[in-house]
A and B are shown apart, each in its own frame.
Chain A
């Protein structure tokens, strides 16, 4: 029993070291990817300024994890700045057209490694969904299988659809709020 404990301890420590090594190798990549994503959301005339400013900002934090967290915050900041600078779409047709254009433009701007990762993950999620629906015929209700499939597939598809739709919706809501405030002000 003691030997088993020692083996488990060795495996545990080895795997935690591998996990730590993996994290330390991937976190800088994640930070850079988040920074690029943040910059892609800004108006083109502000991109260069914020690339330099935010890169310097990230380098002010010593740890890879703290940089990744900071980069996530920067992403949020860019989203807010982009939202404040953007004009709301004038019609639903334009909004839908802009949505597909944005998705395609974003896909084109992705590095080939990211594209491969996207397709691999989508394929993996699709296979997992297929397996879960196969299992559902024997062991679980179709509703549960459907939930699992959606939960697996939605992160990828939801990312592309959600990011643009959410931005458009928020812009429209913000614009409507602004118009109603202006109406109130003119009445007063």
Chain B
């Protein structure tokens, strides 16, 4: 939920979040189907870089909106006063 990022591969998301591949990929597929994420192939030539292309996932505007709402639900006091003196 940090700043918008150009696109991250599954392995990068896994490293950043600490979620294992067995959990991560089914989540990514579901979020992509729901329209929260979009994915596209990395724009490199596999022959030049010597490895297959990565699939880069990016949050859509719907995904950003919905995830922000979900995040607010998790932290109801965010942006408000916790108590009044």
Question: Interface of A with B (CB < 8 Å)?
Answer: 49, 52-53, 55-57, 59-61, 70, 72-78, 80-81, 84
Contacts and interface: CB of A to CB of B under 8 A. Distances in A.
B29 interface: yes
Interface residues of B, number: 18
Nearest to A55: B52
Chain B contact residues: helix, strand, loop or mixed = helix
Given A55-B51, A77-B23, 17 more contacts: A52-B52, A52-B53, A55-B52, A56-B9, A56-B51, A56-B52, A72-B22, A73-B22, A74-B22, A74-B25, A76-B20, A76-B21, A77-B25, A80-B26, A81-B25, A84-B29, A84-B30
B63 interface: no
Given A61-B11, A81-B29, A56 B22 contact: no
B21 A73 contact: yes
A99 to B, nearest CB: 24
Contacts of A84: 26, 29-30
Contacts of A52: 52-53, 55
Nearest to B39: A53
